Structure 1
């Protein structure tokens, strides 16, 4: 091997190890409650994240190659394993994905149509007809989220009124449709939250055997701010398909 080839090989190995360490650092930051800093265990613990699932086979192979490069080097400039340039470029690309995960707002439904409890059902139906939206955060007089109105809920309410045949839709207020039997679990997150953050929220609810209907994105991540975006588990399924 010429001196120039040795220099190129050393450079590729250093680039590979640097990218590997960047991924490792990102995993340690994003995989919550892992109680480990071992690379392979972080992959196993982090499978609730779509990005980890999308790249898990590659990550396992990178771990094997990294161990061969670092731990099986027999001399200062002699490596048992040699990462090809295309592998180096691939791991660098994946490292960028881990360091800059997709923002939740990028896949969220927006704008979010929300209503106040004293709002008119007629206005909700107009939005459904025009945009085919099916979920609407409802706010009280104090500007705080109180419950979620869904199209299924509306259909059920309308069906219940058929026996009376006296309902004037134009006079019905949103608050008249509230029914505690149709309450939904909703969480809130900041509008600058990443996909990792959103997946962690869903995983927390799952671990507590709670069904999360959706996550509302607001400026401060609280129920006192107006919604900027709305995410469901189906939106996260879409992310996994794109990443795979």
Structure 2
């Protein structure tokens, strides 16, 4: 290595590749530490890894060609180009230091007490174009009220094409018998952990309406953000 020029591209590639490999082992956690196996298993479970799947599989072949043909320590038979090295270094950074879930959460969160007028919720839908609202009772989150739930309620009680909202409270609309499928998590949770929550629920054939983020993950804390399955789908994982 020339001290003035810095590490060779091949050395940087190998370092980044090893960082990706270590990150995959920590994230995927299966009883097989082979790089390509980790990539395939991780891609089935995590959207972020699936985004990088093809690139990582190609980089695995490139790594084998570079490292296995290395003549001696510090001497590589081939050099990857700078664009490839830059890209795998970016992937290594993303996987090794995944963003906090709060970075993809819908902000600001609009929430209500179960005794609030439903007119407040309707105004919020109009102003913020939100469709899900955390509802609290005695300072504890009891679930989400959705725009769809309001529409279904309206269809049931509508008379002559009109609905009188003047005396309707949120508690009158929310089904007290319905299981509210929400999770409350602390703000230091990362994106992979959020995906795990949705994945575990899916395996149990449960549909989580949303994950609410608070300071310490407690039901009685002010919501800092809310994540739905759609938020995970819409994440931009590009690293160009």
TM-score of Structure 1 vs Structure 2, range by shorter chain: 0.7 to 0.9
TM-score by length of 1: 0.85
Looking at structure 2, the residues matched to 69 and 8 of structure 1 have their Cα atoms a distance apart, in angstroms, of 20
Q: Give the equivalent residue in structure 1 for 2:228.
A: 232
Q: Does 1:44 align with 2:40?
A: yes
Q: Does 1:144 align with 2:144?
A: no
Q: Give the equivalent residue in structure 2 for 1:59.
A: 56
Q: Give the equivalent residue in structure 1 for 2:79.
A: 82
Looking at structure 2, the residues matched to 72 and 117 of structure 1 have their Cα atoms a distance apart, in angstroms, of 67
Decide which of 96, 108, 111 is 1:111's aligned counterpart.
Answer: 108
Cα deviation for residue 237 of structure 1 reads 1.2
Structure with the bigger percentage of helix? 1
Cα deviation for residue 184 of structure 1 reads 4.2
Bigger mean CA deviation after superposition, 157-166 or 33-42: 157-166
TM-score by length of 2: 0.86
Q: Give the equivalent residue in structure 1 for 2:125.
A: 128
CA contact 1:148–1:183 (8 Å) conserved in 2? no
Unpaired runs of 5+ residues, structure 2, are none
Cα deviation for residue 183 of structure 1 reads 4.3
Cα deviation for residue 120 of structure 1 reads 1.4
Looking at structure 1, the residues matched to 221 and 210 of structure 2 have their Cα atoms a distance apart, in angstroms, of 16
Decide which of 196, 201, 204 is 2:197's aligned counterpart.
Answer: 201
Q: Give the equivalent residue in structure 2 for 1:157.
A: 153
Cα deviation for residue 171 of structure 1 reads 2.0
C-alpha RMSD of matched pairs (Å): 2.8
Bigger mean CA deviation after superposition, 65-74 or 152-161: 65-74
Q: Give the equivalent residue in structure 2 for 1:169.
A: 165
Q: Does 1:23 align with 2:7?
A: no
Unpaired runs of 5+ residues, structure 1, are none
Looking at structure 2, the residues matched to 132 and 78 of structure 1 have their Cα atoms a distance apart, in angstroms, of 59
Alpha carbons of structure 1 residues 177 and 75: separation in structure 2 relative to 1, 3 Å: same
Cα deviation for residue 75 of structure 1 reads 3.6
Residues 19-43 of structure 1, C-alpha deviation per residue, up to 9 Å, x if partnerless?
A: 1111112112222x42222211111
Cα deviation for residue 77 of structure 1 reads 5.0
Cα deviation for residue 182 of structure 1 reads 5.3
